[in-house]
Amino acid sequence: MADRKIITVFGATGAQGGGLVRAIAADPAGGFAARAVTRDVDSDKARALAKLGAEVVAADVDDEASMRRALEGAYGAYFVTFFWAHFSAEKELAEARSMAHAAKAAGVHHVIWSSLEDVRRFVPLSDARMPTMHDKYKVPHFDAKGEADRFFTDAGLRTTFLYPSFYWENLIYFGAGPKKGPDGALYFTLPTGNAKMAGVAAEDIGRVAYGIFKAGDAYVGKTVGAAGEHLTGAEMAAKMTRALGREIRFNGPSPDEYRAYGFPGAVELGNMFQFYRDFEGPVNAVRDVARSRALDPQLLSFDQWLAENAAKIPLE
Ligand SMILES: NC(=O)c1ccc[n+]([C@@H]2O[C@H](COP(=O)([O-])OP(=O)(O)OC[C@H]3O[C@@H](n4cnc5c(N)ncnc54)[C@H](OP(=O)(O)O)[C@@H]3O)[C@@H](O)[C@H]2O)c1
């Protein structure tokens, strides 16, 4: 352990951080050791990480002193914030600010910050193409992450900005899977028209992050996306049809129609999908699949992900 570089991983019991801890644990000769951060070291997920050989430590992003302790002696840190735990862009900004402060205080050599585009740089608040939310955001959970980049740069931290893509697991856990229409047929709804959307197996985000740490300083100061494939909604529906053996029809409402569905988060997600649709070029360019694969040779395509996971997609 002493001769290995410690990477402190926030969100270690979650999707992104968990993938990184497992990638480090799977490569014992790689020269890195994972320090997994959780609020509850006794949870089943935390114990599973300890079993893999990770050091598991308690810290809470709301308690900066605990974060500093978790970062003490670390070479690297993986930071991800927890928007869906509180739905607050302000809180997400505060979390990122604390992370940057704590990393600076601990003298961390290389930070990976799990960021996203500040959509307001593409669609200013004055632009009526998509509604403004809470008077200051277009896509709060994107904008806050992008705005928070400056906490890391201003602190002089050697940072790689990692942009995840749409997790294909959203089809299982986030209500994004096919739904039965009034005619009894199954419809996969995505308001992205003919645009190809970057998607990824959540586990690959952490594996890409591991590739970035392994590359030394090559990606310091750079923005790197993680994507397994860029696909239209119709292509995703066709692949699900083959994997599930059930016809999945593509339903492509406009972003306005999607926002009007009215479920909690419909406006935010409608804006997000509109961003994916209207800025397909730059969004997918940064989420380069070949580069993701170079950093993560195990990177899954959508077909490969479906082969492992299709049976878990609820068909309502
Ligand atoms: N779903 C998508 O398609 C998608 C795409 C791009 C980006 N994202 C972003 O991904 C982020 C979430 O990452 P994820 O999916 O890896 O999360 P996740 O699987 O939901 O896991 C959440 C993690 O957060 C930790 N956590 C929550 N509150 C904490 C706190 N106060 N202090 C310390 N740790 C805390 C939890 O650890 P313990 O409970 O063990 O403490 C858990 O490990 C969100 O901000 C979201 O916007 C999602």
| Amino acid 123: pLDDT | 98
Does residue 248 contact residue 240 with C-beta atoms inside 8 Å?
Answer: yes
Query: For every residue of 57-122, which 3-state class applies, written as one string?
Result: EECCCCCHHHHHHHHCCCCEEEECCCHHHHCCHHHHHHHHHHHHHHHHHHCCCEEEEECCCCHHHC
| Amino acid 49: pLDDT | 98
User: What is the rounded CA–CA span in Å between residue 91 and residue 62?
Assistant: 10
Q: Is the CB of 265 under 6 A from ligand 1?
A: no
- Out of 80, 90, 118, 275, mutate this one to test ligand 1's pocket (max ligand atoms within 8 Å of CB): namely 80
Q: Is the CB of 85 under 6 A from ligand 1?
A: yes
| Amino acid 84: pLDDT | 87
How far does residue 296's CA lie from ligand 1's centre (Å)? Answer: 21
Tokens of 124: 């200013």
Q: Is the CB of 166 under 6 A from ligand 1?
A: yes
**Phi-psi label, residue 11: left if phi above 0, alpha if psi -120 to 50, beta otherwise:** left
How far does residue 184's CA lie from ligand 1's centre (Å)? Answer: 35
Does residue 315 contact residue 186 with C-beta atoms inside 8 Å?
Answer: yes
Can you give the pTM of this predicted structure?
A: 0.98
Task: Return the ligand 1 atom nearest residue 16 CA.
Answer: 16
Q: Is the CB of 14 under 6 A from ligand 1?
A: yes
Longest dimension (CA), the chain: 62
Identify which of 183, 173, 120 has the alpha carbon closest to the alpha carbon of residue 146: 120
**In degrees rounded to 5, what are phi and psi of residue 310?**
-55, -40
Task: Return the ligand 1 atom nearest residue 59 CA.
Answer: 33
Element (H, E) at 49: helix 44-51
Q: Helix, strand or coil for residue 162?
A: strand
Percentage with pLDDT > 70 across the chain: 99
User: What is the rounded CA–CA span in Å between residue 33 and residue 50?
Assistant: 12
| Amino acid 316: pLDDT | 72
**In degrees rounded to 5, what are phi and psi of residue 263?**
-70, 160
Positions in the chain short of pLDDT 50: none
Q: In what order do the strands lie in the sheet with 179-180?
A: 179-180, 186-189, 248-251
Q: Is the CB of 88 under 6 A from ligand 1?
A: no
| Amino acid 2: pLDDT | 64
Task: Return the ligand 1 atom nearest residue 81 CA.
Answer: 45
Closest residue by CA, ligand 1 atom 27: 82
Does residue 49 contact residue 21 with C-beta atoms inside 8 Å?
Answer: yes
Closest residue by CA, ligand 1 atom 11: 82
